[in-house]
Structure 1
Amino acid sequence: MEEIQHKYVDVRGLKLHVAEIGTGPVVVFLHGFPEIWYSWRHQMVAAAKSGFWAIAPDYRGYGLSEQPAEPEKATFRDLVDDLLAILDSFEIAKVFLVGKDLGARPVYHFALLHPDRVSGVITLGVPFLLTGPEAFPSDQLPKGFYMQILVLASFEQSDSPDGYPDFHEPGRAEKDFGRFDIKTVVKNIYILFSGSDLPAAREDQEIMDLVDPSTPLPPWFTEEDLDIYASLYEKSGFRTPLQVPYRAYDWLIKYVDLSRAWLEDYGVTELKVAAPALLIMGEKDYALKFGNLAEYISGGVVKQYVPNLEVTYLPEGSHFVQEQFPDQVIAPLFSKYKEKALRWKNSKGKRSRREFDSLSLRLIRPAMVLTVLDDSLPGYNDNTSEIGALQIADPANQNKSTELFRTQERDRRKIAEDNFGIG
């Protein structure tokens, strides 16, 4: 069986870890919290067997990716820009995007910003969401709701010039997590987020206090899985993961939605995703009790923004459906796009993936070297590294004009359609 390979890609001044496997049309998996690329291991192997090239990065500051110099300034916009840089570095023109939990936001923002580069969208646990105080009024959230604790009360409330908390001094969340080793913190979060109730603490409680020490791991999450997660969070810590997603939710911090402003800066005037989309929800996902989210989905309001959306519910499914029920998630994940994968596979003859890349996705950019990840790192098979180096695009050239990019994009799509039947 082909093994998952691991590489570092130079992206906007950081080395980001990327896992990949397979050949064919590209599927990019974006993880949630407290996850890493590893949470997609089942789907990646299945994607490769189904005729796809599966790619799963660790976000900046997560897992094996480097930390940004100032984690407290990281935003969801960084995740979107990082995704664009990764695709350009591999010379990938068009992708299927899959996002879990926090990954849904960069997936949908990318689809709004770069619709010509998205073949389809799948999200797990979180639909397309408008954010801001009008979308989730504070009175719909329970007192002691975990997100408010991690965001609003996660730092000591020292004053800042703009009248909001100073988010540069570690406080409540760090002190809470710091009472335990990394493995226990990850275990508690998995147990907590696997439940069907919204996590909310009493005034005399912290987040870690919500889990009884005797509570076992979910049956679908093994001690080996926990060891792998713990080893990687020991490397990265929680500084960036607490910033993105939680402290980057501007609507929880300053009660405004800054994301709409930067989308408008990029020319996005209509919040509507035209690409075919699928939402997979566990019926017992605690997120369904978040404000009016269940009604927002079941009542079809979400389809005002994603008109080509299908919704699938998994009975007994938790917030971690891709790990809990990997086979049930795999089926809807790839059956939707299997025909396109087969068209590519049957038409390519003896063409390799790299040959396909050079034919259909050529970008005129200086080349850099993509380094191979050390296969001795925890959780990796001895055969996971790829010998040699690949030529990738120079991230310094990401600021080409929009019109030039669109011209190149049209040319690449024409070549792809002529050679492989992929639009």
Structure 2
Amino acid sequence: MDQIEHKYIDVRGLKLHIAELGTGPSVVVFLHGFPEIWYSWRHQMVAVANAGFRALVPDFRGYGLSQLPPEPEKASFKDLLEDLLAILDFFSVPKAFLIGKDFGAFPANLFAVIFPERVSGVVTMGVPYIPAGSSSLFKQLPEGFYILRWQEPGRAEADFGRLDVKTVVRNIYILFSGSELPIAGEDQEIMDLVDPSSPLPPWFTEEDLAVYATLYEKSGFRTALQVPYRTLREDLSLTDDPRVKKPALLIMGGKDYFLKVPGMEDYVRSGKVKDLVPDLEITFLPEGTHFVQEQFPDQVNQLITTFLRKHTC
């Protein structure tokens, strides 16, 4: 961890933070989810660097150590795609492997669709490929589900605002590490679903929590609530063919709550997802939940490095 370098680069008018490790000729770009930041990939950065690859891990705009956009409520998934292209150009990387977790899987897959010549392969975790803004899967969410609650302007802000930032991050990690969908009752908010006495997941320490809390105290949640939650239905039909035509690996926890989104488990286990990602391997970690890369880093690192070596020219 001490060897990780931290840089700030100018990207489309903002200073974005990039964590970097390794000097190999092949580059791996990691894209985090929510409430994650660059630190969420700490175990994987070390593993791919030791395997001879170069890891680049940005904090998305408005997240972590990256600058907040002047109008967070106008941030979009398209921004993430354009930022990623600018990052590759800044580091003179002609082609990279993309690894995305949670909503970071969206830009990883979409970038491979739009700029296939810049992508060697794609690894995603927690969320299968779902073309943004076009899937019926996100039209079947149960009432009170956290995504629906957080899409409502002001609602999450009021919910989060009752608690300090550290408690909000703690609660989200506890909720998202469960195997049940986070659904609030009519007289509840999402933060009410966590008993204050609930412990952190055993693989997530108080020291880890402190890192996240410190950075969210800096960035706040304005951009994070906009992207992904309030832009999930954004129209990103930027090409006629939505298929990912690169080698791909999907890693899912067998106990990931996201599999209980209506239609999601069938979409993955039946192989329907391969209609959109023809060259896709799917691996389940039976005891894994939504944060498999932090929960089972050794297993995930082995899967990633095997995939990278297999598809490195």
TM-score with structure 1 length normalisation?
0.72
The alpha-carbon deviation at position 134 of structure 1 amounts to: 5.3
Residues 1:145 and 1:284: Cα distance change in structure 2 (over 3 Å): same
2:66 & 2:251 partners in 1: Cα distance? 27
- C-alpha contact 1:125 1:280 (8 A) present in aligned 2: yes
Counterpart check, 1:328 vs 2:299: yes
Q: Give 1:273's aligned residue.
A: 244
1:132 & 1:97 partners in 2: Cα distance? 21
- C-alpha contact 2:17 2:59 (8 A) present in aligned 1: yes
Counterpart check, 1:177 vs 2:160: yes
- Corresponding residue SS for 1:8: strand
Q: Give 1:259's aligned residue.
A: 236
Q: Give 1:135's aligned residue.
A: 136
The aligned amino acid for 2:51 is S
2:2 & 2:34 partners in 1: Cα distance? 28
1:5 & 1:335 partners in 2: Cα distance? 25
Cα RMSD (Å) = 1.3
Counterpart check, 1:208 vs 2:208: no
Q: Give 1:103's aligned residue.
A: 104
Could you report, residue by residue, the CA deviation over 1:282-328 in whole angstroms, capped at 9, with x for unpaired residues? Answer: 00000001120111111111111100000000011000000000001
Q: Give 2:177's aligned residue.
A: 194
The alpha-carbon deviation at position 28 of structure 1 amounts to: 0.3
- C-alpha contact 2:254 2:285 (8 A) present in aligned 1: yes
Could you report, residue by residue, the CA deviation over 1:210-248 in whole angstroms, capped at 9, with x for unpaired residues? Answer: 100000000000000000000000000000001000011
Q: Give 1:10's aligned residue.
A: 10
Q: Give 1:39's aligned residue.
A: 40
Could you report, residue by residue, the CA deviation over 1:400-420 in whole angstroms, capped at 9, with x for unpaired residues? Answer: xxxxxxxxxxxxxxxxxxxxx
Residues 1:18 and 1:137: Cα distance change in structure 2 (over 3 Å): closer
- C-alpha contact 2:134 2:235 (8 A) present in aligned 1: no
The alpha-carbon deviation at position 130 of structure 1 amounts to: 3.0
Q: How does 1:16-415 map to 2 (within 5 A)?
A: 16-24=16-24, 25-132=26-133, 135-136=136-137, 138=139, 140-151=140-151, 154-155=152-153, 171-250=154-233, 258-260=235-237, 263=238, 268-338=239-309
1:133 & 1:35 partners in 2: Cα distance? 25
- Corresponding residue SS for 1:319: coil
Could you report, residue by residue, the CA deviation over 1:388-411 in whole angstroms, capped at 9, with x for unpaired residues? Answer: xxxxxxxxxxxxxxxxxxxxxxxx
- Corresponding residue SS for 2:136: coil
The alpha-carbon deviation at position 337 of structure 1 amounts to: 2.0
The alpha-carbon deviation at position 207 of structure 1 amounts to: 0.9
The aligned amino acid for 2:142 is P
> What percent of counterpart residues are identical?
64
Residues 1:248 and 1:192: Cα distance change in structure 2 (over 3 Å): same
Task: Please list every run of 5 or more consecutive structure 2 residues that lacks an aligned counterpart in the other structure.
Answer: none
Could you report, residue by residue, the CA deviation over 1:347-397 in whole angstroms, capped at 9, with x for unpaired residues? Answer: xxxxxxxxxxxxxxxxxxxxxxxxxxxxxxxxxxxxxxxxxxxxxxxxxxx
1:124 & 1:137 partners in 2: Cα distance? 18
2:50 & 2:301 partners in 1: Cα distance? 11
1:72 & 1:4 partners in 2: Cα distance? 32
Residues 1:245 and 1:134: Cα distance change in structure 2 (over 3 Å): closer
Task: Please list every run of 5 or more consecutive structure 1 residues that lacks an aligned counterpart in the other structure.
Answer: 156-170, 251-256, 342-421
Q: Select the structure of larger CA radius of gyration.
A: 1
- Corresponding residue SS for 1:228: helix
1:109 & 1:304 partners in 2: Cα distance? 15
The aligned amino acid for 1:65 is S
Residues 1:247 and 1:137: Cα distance change in structure 2 (over 3 Å): closer
1:314 & 1:295 partners in 2: Cα distance? 17
